[in-house]
Structure 1
Amino acid sequence: MASLGTRDALTLVERDTAESRRGFSGAHAGDNPVVVEQRDQSRGRASRIVIIDRRQLVGRCLAASLSEADRQTSFEVFADIESWKRQTPFVAASVVVLCRPDGNLTETEWTEITRELAFLQGEAGAPPVAVISDGENLDQIVRIIKLGVKGYIPTTTSVDIALQALQLVQAGGVYIPAECLLPLLANIKVDEPVEAGDDDIFSPRQLCVARALRKGTPNKIIAYELNMCESTVKVHVRNIMKKLKAKNRTEVAYLTNKYFLREDSSLASVKAPAA
């Protein structure tokens, strides 16, 4: 759906579909499907997106907006799936877009959309389906995706993002707007790492050793300043690294930084125990 360097002709073709009514009960006799078509003359046949919207004015406005932004793709508007299926000659779609104006679908509407999807998906080589709706309810979105829909596009979406979403669906991907997933992400609990500031994470001696490590003090000097054997300092360093899951002394200094900043006043009163 890339933009063209040369301007293509915009063709509005209205075709009378006065054939007898059959198939879905929602089909409308005498509907006039509209083709808003932009062809790339240098590449041959354009991609074809079929928009199913019983509100013809709204459907035409949607097709015109998408066509203005994407001059390589034709956008055909039909009142229902049956009107599209009985066009002569029939031309397959790259993507079928079902427009559901109601934000919260009733059970009757769920039955209708389930039947429409079953009809579309029951044929070999069936095109992927996207839904455009006023609703942004996460439960409804998940339910629709489970029916096999590959894209859910709220009407609050910009034209550019809608085009990219349809492009993703056409390529075999699935599109759900990130803002609709925020309520779900808010309920996901993530285990917080153990902070070095927990009261019982270090012993008084280990606190003193950790403070010295933050200053880059060698083990030998730490042993002298804290009046302990160098081997004891090494044991404390190993235990500190284990508790912090640190790989080296540099990581120890980094991981204990916040702790010492918060607890500086209390740590100032901690003195090295007598040997």
Structure 2
Amino acid sequence: MASLGTRDERVIVERDTLQSRNGFPGVQGGDGPAVIEQRDPILIRTNRIVIIDRRQLVGRCLAASLREADKDTVFEVFPDIESWKRQTPFAAANVVVLCRPDGNLSETEWAEITRELALLQGEVDAPPVAVISDGENLDQIVRTIKLGVKGYIPTTTSVDIALQALQLVQAGGVYIPAECLFPLLASIKVEEPVEAGEDEIFSPRQLCVARALRKGTPNKIIAYELNMCESTVKVHVRNIMKKLKAKNRTEVAYLTNKYFLREDSSLASVKAPAA
């Protein structure tokens, strides 16, 4: 009789035999939970995701698809929370996935989800929970997240993205599909700010001072050219800075550029209005 080789090789042979015997890669047969791949716990540290789906065939197909993309994780399928808690130590799961086939959940379904979450969240070291559903309604997603669910994965999601979403949930994050948020973003109207003209934001005297500031004219010269006291110029400068939320005269010169772009260059020299 040929030797089976090393201990690692024997585990691989036993695993492959199990897979071929059941005709479904990596899924345990019998009446127990669907287990994706049997591994020697001494060889590796097990990462386990528990799938709760009363549709056993669908649940097993989901587990098999996830297993094909992530061979380092054990996926188990149970029809309900109670079955899982009877057969598996509660703390063994890294993430629990609740499968809800209905696109629009009825109040009965919501009550069932609330009950299941209460069973999960009432335990010490309870694992994070994700929901897989046919529905992509934003209100339903928000309501699910408010219940304490950390991830909402539509069944239209690819296997790779679903796995990444579960990894995010396991790491402590929250997953909501971006495409489900697009209708909300589209409904938000962003109004473009209407810029006031120079005659609306500044008084005639302030306009004259602002023009002078753009040229870097000192307060004393501005006062002389505009025939006003230097202290009055300072008051105008202070009010202009306040309206523009500018920190200094340089910012005033920069921020007022847009108010004078339409002026002819011949008007660059400041002229005082009639007293």
Q: Give the conservation status (yes or no) of the 8 Å contact 1:48–1:74.
A: yes
Which runs of no fewer than 5 residues in structure 2 stay unpaired? 1-11, 20-25
CA distance in 2, matches of 1:181, 1:197: 38
> Residue in 2 aligned with 1:70?
70
Which structure 2 residues correspond to residues 55-134 of structure 1 after superposition, within 5 A?
Answer: 55-87=55-87, 92-134=92-134
> Residue in 2 aligned with 1:14?
28
CA distance in 2, matches of 1:253, 1:155: 57
Which runs of no fewer than 5 residues in structure 1 stay unpaired? 1-7, 18-31
Which structure 2 residues correspond to residues 1-275 of structure 1 after superposition, within 5 A?
Answer: 12-17=26-31, 33-37=33-37, 44-87=44-87, 92-181=92-181, 197=197, 200-261=200-261, 264=263, 272-275=272-275
CA distance in 2, matches of 1:256, 1:105: 57
Alpha-carbon distance, 1:60 to partner: 3.6
Q: More displaced, 180-189 or 75-84? A: 180-189
Q: TM-score, with normalisation over the residues of structure 1?
A: 0.71
SS of match in other structure, 2:238: helix
Of all paired residues, the percent bearing the same amino acid is: 84
SS of match in other structure, 2:103: coil
Distance verdict in 2 for CA 1:164–1:249, change over 3 Å? farther
CA distance in 2, matches of 1:125, 1:157: 29
Aligned length: 251
SS of match in other structure, 2:30: coil
- Which aligned segments of 4 or more residues in structure 1 are displaced greater than 6 angstroms? 8-11, 38-43, 88-91, 185-194
Q: Give the conservation status (yes or no) of the 8 Å contact 1:49–1:74.
A: yes
**Considering only CA atoms, is the larger Rg found in Structure 1 or Structure 2?**
2
Q: Give the partner amino acid of 1:120.
A: L
CA RMSD in angstroms, aligned pairs only = 3.9
Q: Higher helix proportion, which one?
A: 2
Q: Give the conservation status (yes or no) of the 8 Å contact 2:91–2:126.
A: no
Alpha-carbon distance, 1:42 to partner: 10
Q: TM-score, with normalisation over the residues of structure 2?
A: 0.71
Alpha-carbon distance, 1:202 to partner: 1.1
